[in-house]
């Protein structure tokens, strides 16, 4: 169950990171509200998952999911350009986290 919570928390990290960018320094209401709600859910889920998972592994998984989904969302929506290099580096992030889990 902690892995499922950790994965969902990582997804909420991507939500708050995207909302933070769209909030324009907390000057736009709905992106700002989305940021605070998603941030609370993301951090709360990470804290809950860390009761059963090692800190380093849980944090690495959480960051990797959040960062990867944030970049993927930006590329899919056209906010930032997609490239083979970006996709390769995202795969390296994911592969590194899988490697951390494999050796822990």
> What is the value of pTM for the model shown?
0.91
Q: What is the per-residue pLDDT for 73?
A: 97
CB–CB of 14/73 below 8 Å?
A: yes
Alpha-carbon separation of residue 84 from 27, 47, 81, 88, 91 (angstroms): 35, 34, 10, 6, 11
Helix, strand, coil percentages (3-state) for the chain, rounded to 5, are: 80, 0, 20
Mean pLDDT on 25-42? 98
Element (H, E) at 45: helix 29-49
Predicted confidence (pLDDT) per residue in 53-87, tens digit: 999 999 999 999 999 999 999 999 999 999 999 99
Mean pLDDT on 3-28? 97
Q: Please determine, for residue 2, whether its predicted confidence score (pLDDT) is greater than 80.
A: yes
């Amino acid at each position: 169950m902690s892995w499922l919570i950790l994965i969902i928390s990582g997804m909420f990290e991507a939500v708050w990171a995207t909302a933070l960018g769209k909030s324009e320094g907390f000057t736009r209401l709905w992106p700002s509200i989305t940021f605070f709600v998603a941030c609370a859910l993301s951090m709360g889920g990470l804290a809950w998952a860390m009761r059963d998972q090692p800190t380093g592994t849980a944090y690495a998984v959480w960051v990797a999911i959040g960062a990867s989904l944030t970049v993927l969302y930006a590329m899919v929506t056209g906010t930032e350009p997609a490239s083979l290099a970006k996709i390769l580096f995202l795969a390296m992030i994911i592969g590194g986290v899988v490697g951390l889990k494999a050796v822990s």
